[in-house]
């Protein structure tokens, strides 16, 4: 058996970086250090410990098993403030798990679980939120979009002086427009759905989308496990405005080079250029042969 070191792939966007590892059924974790979030936790690689906010999409072990280690290891290293933002229905079982493991370990690490559900906004820090949306995988499963929130002075007030603006505010006048810039959307595991209807997904600079299965005879597996089959991919990506589309969660049953060839065949040229596989580390499928 070939043993390879556990290395995270790195994708650099203009203002943030994505470091991740994602293989279907094995492990999924994507850290965005500048945004202080980790999408899913996988087996909690070292880089995941640095993010203060774990955004957990669902409870499958390959996405969630590192959570107890995350809290225990952060406690061991004296890093405070770790939080896991989790689908509401998982709070009780996760709490039971952390406490049970605490009994195994001899001490329960400090932990903070924040329940969220479809449509919730969670504030990561001032001006940065994670928006939760329902996904089609298991009951209660969620995807997350990290959004930069800015407030821009309305055009009719740009000529006013500082004191005049204060005056308007005192009168209760709304002098700014709220502008949302979605940075990265992570769908987690999901069957196909109309995600491009959601502005926080459609307009995200980077979109992480799972595409687990590729072979014709894996279509049944995709449907049974509520995953994306390559056949679904063109429809899912229709109408998306993302700068980068990053495919995650590819099964070990298909070689990633073969998967890249299939993606190249099935996607229109303009989508091929901006699409890559998280685990191939080379950009654009055309470089992957």
Distance of CA 48 to the CA centre of its chain: 13
Give the range of 53-61, 113-121, 168-176, 234-242 binding Zn ion by CB under 5 A.
Answer: 53-61
| In the complex, least distance from residue 214 CB atom to Zn ion, rounded to whole angstroms | 18
CB nearer Zn ion, residue 151 or residue 252: 252
CB nearer Zn ion, residue 57 or residue 242: 57
Residues 83, 95, 138, 130: what is their CA dihedral angle, to the nearest 10 degrees?
-20
CB nearer Zn ion, residue 226 or residue 261: 226
CB nearer Zn ion, residue 189 or residue 288: 189
Phi-psi region of 284 (alpha: psi -120 to 50; beta: other; left: phi over 0): left
| In the complex, least distance from residue 189 CB atom to Zn ion, rounded to whole angstroms | 4
Q: Does 189 bind Zn ion (CB under 5 A)?
A: yes
Task: Report yes or no: 27 and 52 within 8 Å, Cβ to Cβ.
Answer: no
CB nearer Zn ion, residue 189 or residue 193: 189
| In the complex, least distance from residue 184 CB atom to Zn ion, rounded to whole angstroms | 20
> What is the distance between the alpha carbons of residues 11 and 21, in angstroms, rounded to a whole number?
11
| In the complex, least distance from residue 86 CB atom to Zn ion, rounded to whole angstroms | 14
The first and second tokens of residue 208, run together, are 């992480």
The residues in 118-177 that bind Zn ion, with binding defined as CB under 5 A, are none
> What is the distance between the alpha carbons of residues 9 and 27, in angstroms, rounded to a whole number?
13
Tokens 């679980």 map to which residue? Answer: 113
Task: Report yes or no: 245 and 274 within 8 Å, Cβ to Cβ.
Answer: yes
Give the range of 52-60, 90-98, 127-135, 232-240 binding Zn ion by CB under 5 A.
Answer: 52-60
| In the complex, least distance from residue 241 CB atom to Zn ion, rounded to whole angstroms | 27
| In the complex, least distance from residue 125 CB atom to Zn ion, rounded to whole angstroms | 29
CB nearer Zn ion, residue 24 or residue 82: 24
> What is the distance between the alpha carbons of residues 18 and 39, in angstroms, rounded to a whole number?
10
Give the range of 55-63, 145-153, 166-174, 270-278 binding Zn ion by CB under 5 A.
Answer: 55-63
The H or E element spanning position 9 is: strand 9-12
| In the complex, least distance from residue 58 CB atom to Zn ion, rounded to whole angstroms | 6
The first and second tokens of residue 160, run together, are 């006013």
CB nearer Zn ion, residue 60 or residue 83: 60
Tokens 């939080």 map to which residue? Answer: 83
> What is the distance between the alpha carbons of residues 289 and 276, in angstroms, rounded to a whole number?
13
Which residues form the interface with Zn ion (CB under 5 A)? 60, 189
């Amino acid at each position: 058996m070939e043993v390879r070191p556990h290395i995270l792939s790195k994708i650099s966007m203009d203002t943030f970086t994505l470091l991740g590892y994602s293989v279907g059924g094995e492990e999924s974790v994507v850290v965005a250090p500048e945004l202080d979030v980790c999408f899913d936790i996988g087996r909690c690689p070292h880089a995941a410990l640095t993010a203060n906010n774990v955004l957990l999409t669902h409870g499958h072990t390959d996405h969630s098993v590192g959570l107890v280690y995350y809290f225990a290891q952060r406690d061991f290293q004296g890093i405070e403030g770790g939080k896991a933002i989790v689908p509401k229905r998982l709070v009780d079982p996760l709490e039971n798990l952390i406490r049970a493991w605490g009994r195994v370990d001899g001490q329960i690490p400090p932990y903070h679980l924040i329940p969220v559900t479809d449509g919730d906004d969670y504030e990561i820090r001032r001006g940065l939120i994670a928006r939760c949306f329902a996904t089609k995988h298991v009951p209660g499963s969620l995807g997350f979009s990290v959004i930069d929130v800015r407030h821009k002075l309305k055009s009719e007030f740009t000529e006013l002086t500082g004191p005049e603006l204060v005056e308007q505010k005192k009168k209760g006048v709304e002098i700014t427009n709220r502008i949302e810039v979605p940075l990265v959307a992570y769908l987690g595991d999901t069957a196909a759905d109309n995600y491009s209807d959601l502005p926080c997904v459609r307009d995200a600079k980077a979109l992480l989308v799972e595409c687990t299965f590729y072979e014709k005879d894996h279509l049944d597996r995709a449907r049974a496990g509520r995953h994306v089959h390559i056949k679904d991919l063109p429809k899912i990506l229709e109408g998306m405005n993302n700068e980068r589309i990053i495919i995650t969660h590819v099964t070990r049953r298909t070689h990633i080079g073969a998967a890249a060839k299939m993606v190249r065949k099935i996607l229109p040229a303009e989508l091929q250029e901006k699409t890559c596989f998280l685990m191939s580390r080379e950009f654009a499928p055309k470089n992957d042969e």
